[in-house]
Structure 1
Amino acid sequence: MKLLIVLWLSVTILGICDGSKILGIFPVPSKSHYIIGEALLRGLAEKGHDVTMISPYTLDKPMKNYTDIVVNEVLELKEAYGPQMAEFNATFFQKANLSYHLFPAMNHAIHNSSNVRQFLKKGEKYDLCIASFIISEASFGICDSVQAPAIGMSLVGMTPFLSYHTNNPTPYSYVPNGFLGLTDEMSFWDRVKNVASSYFIEALMHFFLLPYQQKLLNTYYPNAPTIEKLMDNVDLYLMNSHTSTDFPKPLLPNIIPIGGFHVQIMDKIPEDIQNFLDKSQKGVIYFSMGSNIKGADLDQGIRNTVLNTFAKLEYDVLWKFEEDLPNKPKNVHIAKWVPQRPILMHPNVKMFITHGGLGGTVEAIHGGVPMICMPMFGDQPKNCAESAQKGYAIVVDLLGITEEKLTNAIKEIGTNPRYKEKIMLKSDLYRNQEINPMDKAIYWVEHVIRHKGAKHLKSRASSIPWCQYYLLDVAGFLLAICLIGLCITYFIIKLNLKVLCWMMQKIRGTKKCKNSGKHKIKSQFNVLIILWYFPSRHFNEYLNVDEKLWFEINELHISLKTILN
């Protein structure tokens, strides 16, 4: 009988963790973002879970228990807004205007997608939902529709958006805003910018972004709870970050860093690229501006500068370039798409020229390849600034790039062993974590499935009002007590001075205290306080009071005692 019970419990527990239905929502039309989400869901599928992915892309090699729901409408938006995203000379206001139009259009495209609506009509239930949520919090309405507990996933590490939703302690004195390009060593004006921008984003979230997400919920998921309630139901957050690629900072127990988990999966290098890497005599420079910016979108002047610089190098160059490249130097090999992770592991790759995206930065650190960074937007300035501060990268301004600047940067990394040594140290930290980051991610996913949430890890900070979180109510109360105490003390002193003035009138026989004698009265009152506790005539030699004044004070002291007794 006991054996049967043990077998039944084992089957039940395994049934909870193995073969669970998991829904992933990664709708941003960025291949680099998709790669991270796809790596996690593929890892879960390999563990036996039945996974479904909502995204603009599909799995290259289909798996039996991995289903794609493609949001084609989002890719169409990317094609429409792509040229504007590649405007390198765009001002802050032009970028803000682009975001103002792009993100609402993207959100509507996700939730109004024919494939997504058809999927929801089936009424399937899932055991867990994992959603990339930055500026798309309404995606948790899909999680509510499939009646699944939710995990939030931050693909770019700790951001002001993640801090806002979790109320994670974020001391702005040394924790930089991830979108400013600052490090944890900030000057006074850096801290001013950091505080102002961070509070601006919090205000933007509260007064604009979340109300807009609520409108999306009302439109597409009218029976869902409010956006605040949906976010409050998210008990756990997976964060694509590690101390090797981020500044040390406080983290709540329900924010799990899993940085480096996606580098466990290696794609095969195409044969032509493999031959190019293997045959290089002096080594290879790998150049890629990520999945969002095409090489052809680079300004013609910038492109010519880069090509002229490459033509003079002794190195070979592998450039991710999506179109034909006229006047290509002999030492340059172009490819429309490059499997970046295995290439950065190749021993002949000497340096990586990159835009500084987090995925590429992680892969370069894991492979031990120093970087030349040309940040553009988002978290890229922060990633590049941190890499330069830690000594394994050089930052080159893309708008102010010249052949001389780029050549000097390449020569510095190629001849100074310090960069290689620094990044190999970080690579060792990445490779020798306390637990394999993919296993860590899967453990916490299964933990939430097993316990139907993770309320036991969630801090109360995420649900209390901001005035309580910052102790403004307590500070106000203590300030009020101090002010009341000061007022009472003031009126007591004022009353005592009036009494003292009246007694002086009685002793001297005057009708009133003269204004010119106020300072003298205050001095006498101070001495009186001492005499009240120490009525010894010997104190006159310490107080240095003349005989006449001492006589008056002594008489006043006797009179005061008589009155009070």
Structure 2
Amino acid sequence: HLNPKFSCRQLFFLKLVLHFSNKVSWSGKVLVFPVDGSHWVNMNLMIQGLHNRGHEVTVVRTDSSWYVKETAPHYTSLTIALPEAIAIEKEDFFVTFLMKMLAIKKAGSSPVAFLSFYWEMLGALSKIHQQASMVGVQMLENKTLMQKLRETKYDVVLIDPGLPVGVLVAHELGVPTVYNVRWITSGEGHFVVAPSPTSYVPTSGVALPDKMTFWQRLQNTLHYGLNTCIDKFVVAPVYDRLVEKYFGSDISFYHMLQGADIWLMRVDFVFEFPRPTMPNIVYIGGFQCKPSSPLPPELEDFVQSSGDHGFILMSLGTLVKALPKEITSKIAAAFAQLPQKVIWRHAGEKPDNLGNNTLLLKWLPQNDLLGHPKIKAFVAHGGTNGIYESIYHGVPIVGVPLLFDQPENVLRLEVRGAAKVLDVTHITTESFLGTVKEVVRNPFYRNNMKRLSSLHRDKPMHPLDTALFWIEFVMRHKGAAHLRTESYKMPWYSYYSVDVVSFLIAVVLLSMWIFFAVVRFLCCRIIRKRKPKQE
């Protein structure tokens, strides 16, 4: 208990001492396996937070990485040379992927074209994991490097399991693991670690609500089975071969993957549909969000010139540089008819029909623009980072989903009345203009997003602080085994109690057989006794 006579200066000094002593007490060593691209944006924030708390951070990167820099003030890098660059670390990979997908949709989704594209996508997926697995090969084969890592005595390995090669290295080092996760080899991370009934939990890759019709539940179940098959027959074999080579056949890669101590899930149920969870899942959705900062003077002048009409922001994220010109020209023509000013992150070919109210930029301070009082709407592809920043600042969305989880993301906001979604392959100037006007002018969308923002912000601590606490928790206690279920090690027939149900059915059938056998025996005996009397 503090003496009530303590002065404010004494209290401040005591708080300062406790703050710095806490940093010194819990400083540790963290080994990080990130995924390049947009995933690195939020992993980097977590690394900065760990560095600010006094931890030593080592980041494993490849020599072809274009986001994870070799030198940085808040981490030391460990660069692994690969015989071939990982495909997703090439800047044009997602642009090429998008172009092919749009071409198929535009052609009317012919089954032959779709199957051909899907087969090509599965081949690309397998190759990406084969390339990524070489990081593990290069590290595990390098005895000098592994000995150095053992001598460093890391306290925790922080992994983005989208490319899960770090799981193998962590297992070899015998260090507890924490995942910075939403996506994993088979899709959304919950499906690997928590019960996921397909009756009301939409599976990865299909844009469905949590209240489904019979046909939607059928579609959801079939899609879940497809995801499971892809993971089992396309992705997992790449890592199973490494596990068998370096650790023997007694351990399964999938069990290794499921055995993380803590799952830092980039999810907030303000946005995500409710679903079952587990004790070692910690929710940190929106941990990258923060208050806006002042805009650069020239950008502020442009925003202020919008007057009472305000401005609209458009951005397609970090992975996709641009839409085809025929689509962007339709969007530009729609923007030109609006009274609002438009700030558009656009790195591709300049579209036709560009109005005087539209400013094209190759880079923009997205968070600061979303937090500006004059913003009216955000035209976005539906990437998770942009979604949470919009929720944080209460800005309604015009969704133009392009790839991967983006259709699912914008659907969740549309169901909550905070977004309106367009199909990028069917955009016309009129449809785009009408949708933007609807979102800007109808207070329904802004009010719903403001409500989500209020719910999202109402937390006992910031999600980033929550994430850092649990990483340090694992460091302090050498893991979190008491929060982790061992159910993933059970065979499928035990997990789903097929053996128990089969036993109970057998007992019931045996009991019924015995009952009928006894009844039959008694009936026969009675009949035999009656026959002599009748004679």
**Which category describes the TM-score, using the shorter chain as reference length?**
0.7 to 0.9
Shift of the 268–71 alpha-carbon distance from structure 1 to 2, 3 Å rule, reads farther
Where does residue 398 of structure 1 map in the other structure? 424
Shift of the 15–243 alpha-carbon distance from structure 1 to 2, 3 Å rule, reads same
Give yes or no for contact 1:71–1:110 (8 Å, CA) kept in 2. Answer: no
1:48 aligns with 2:73: no
> For residues 37-436 of structure 1, what are the structure 2 equivalents within 5 Å?
37-55=43-61, 56-58=65-67, 64-69=73-78, 73-74=85-86, 77-80=90-93, 82-87=95-100, 88-90=102-104, 92-112=114-134, 117=139, 120=145, 123-124=148-149, 125=152, 126-134=154-162, 136-156=163-183, 160=187, 162-166=189-193, 168-217=194-243, 226-228=252-254, 230-264=256-290, 269-281=295-307, 282-295=309-322, 298-327=323-352, 328-436=354-462
Offset of 1:269 from its aligned partner?
4.5
Where does residue 505 of structure 1 map in the other structure? 531
Shift of the 15–111 alpha-carbon distance from structure 1 to 2, 3 Å rule, reads farther
Amino acid at match of 1:340: Q
SS of equivalent residue, structure 1 residue 249:
coil
Amino acid at match of 2:452: K
After superposing the two structures, state which structure 1 stretch, 333-342 or 148-157, moved more: 148-157
Structure 2 stretches of 5 or more lacking a match?
Answer: 1-18, 105-112
Deviations 1:439-495 (A, max 9, x none): 111100000001111001112323222222211111000000111112222223333
Offset of 1:419 from its aligned partner?
0.8
Give the distance between the partners of 1:36 and 1:142, measured in 2 at CA.
Answer: 22
Asked which structure has the greater CA Rg, the reply is 1
Amino acid at match of 1:309: A
Shift of the 43–236 alpha-carbon distance from structure 1 to 2, 3 Å rule, reads same
Give yes or no for contact 1:84–1:98 (8 Å, CA) kept in 2. Answer: no
Give the distance between the partners of 2:232 and 2:133, measured in 1 at CA.
Answer: 22
1:438 aligns with 2:452: no
Give the distance between the partners of 1:508 and 1:464, measured in 2 at CA.
Answer: 64
Give yes or no for contact 1:286–1:319 (8 Å, CA) kept in 2. Answer: yes
Deviations 1:73-105 (A, max 9, x none): 336544356313333133653453343233333
Shift of the 82–469 alpha-carbon distance from structure 1 to 2, 3 Å rule, reads same
Give yes or no for contact 1:33–1:155 (8 Å, CA) kept in 2. Answer: no
1:469 aligns with 2:503: no
Offset of 1:70 from its aligned partner?
5.9
Structure 1 stretches of 5 or more lacking a match?
Answer: 1-9, 510-565
Question: Structure 1 length normalisation: TM-score?
Answer: 0.79
Deviations 1:15-63 (A, max 9, x none): 5622x11122112x42x21111111111111111111223534578975
Offset of 1:158 from its aligned partner?
12
Offset of 1:226 from its aligned partner?
4.9
Offset of 1:498 from its aligned partner?
2.8
The size of the alignment, in residue pairs, is 493
Shift of the 321–65 alpha-carbon distance from structure 1 to 2, 3 Å rule, reads closer
SS of equivalent residue, structure 1 residue 378:
coil
Give yes or no for contact 2:329–2:351 (8 Å, CA) kept in 1. Answer: no
Give the distance between the partners of 1:444 and 1:35, measured in 2 at CA.
Answer: 20
Amino acid at match of 2:51: A
Offset of 1:199 from its aligned partner?
3.1
Give the distance between the partners of 2:206 and 2:176, measured in 1 at CA.
Answer: 33
SS of equivalent residue, structure 1 residue 178:
coil
Amino acid at match of 1:34: W
After superposing the two structures, state which structure 1 stretch, 44-53 or 214-223, moved more: 214-223
Amino acid at match of 1:86: M
Amino acid at match of 2:76: T
Amino acid at match of 1:66: Y
Question: Structure 2 length normalisation: TM-score?
Answer: 0.83
Alignment RMSD (CA, Å)? 3.2
Where does residue 542 of structure 1 map in the other structure? none
SS of equivalent residue, structure 2 residue 314:
strand
Shift of the 213–95 alpha-carbon distance from structure 1 to 2, 3 Å rule, reads farther
Amino acid at match of 1:36: N
Deviations 1:311-353 (A, max 9, x none): 2111111111113515422111111122222221111211011
> For residues 13-24 of structure 1, what are the structure 2 equivalents within 5 Å?
17-18=26-27, 20-24=28-32
Give yes or no for contact 1:176–1:183 (8 Å, CA) kept in 2. Answer: yes
After superposing the two structures, state which structure 1 stretch, 486-495 or 309-318, moved more: 486-495
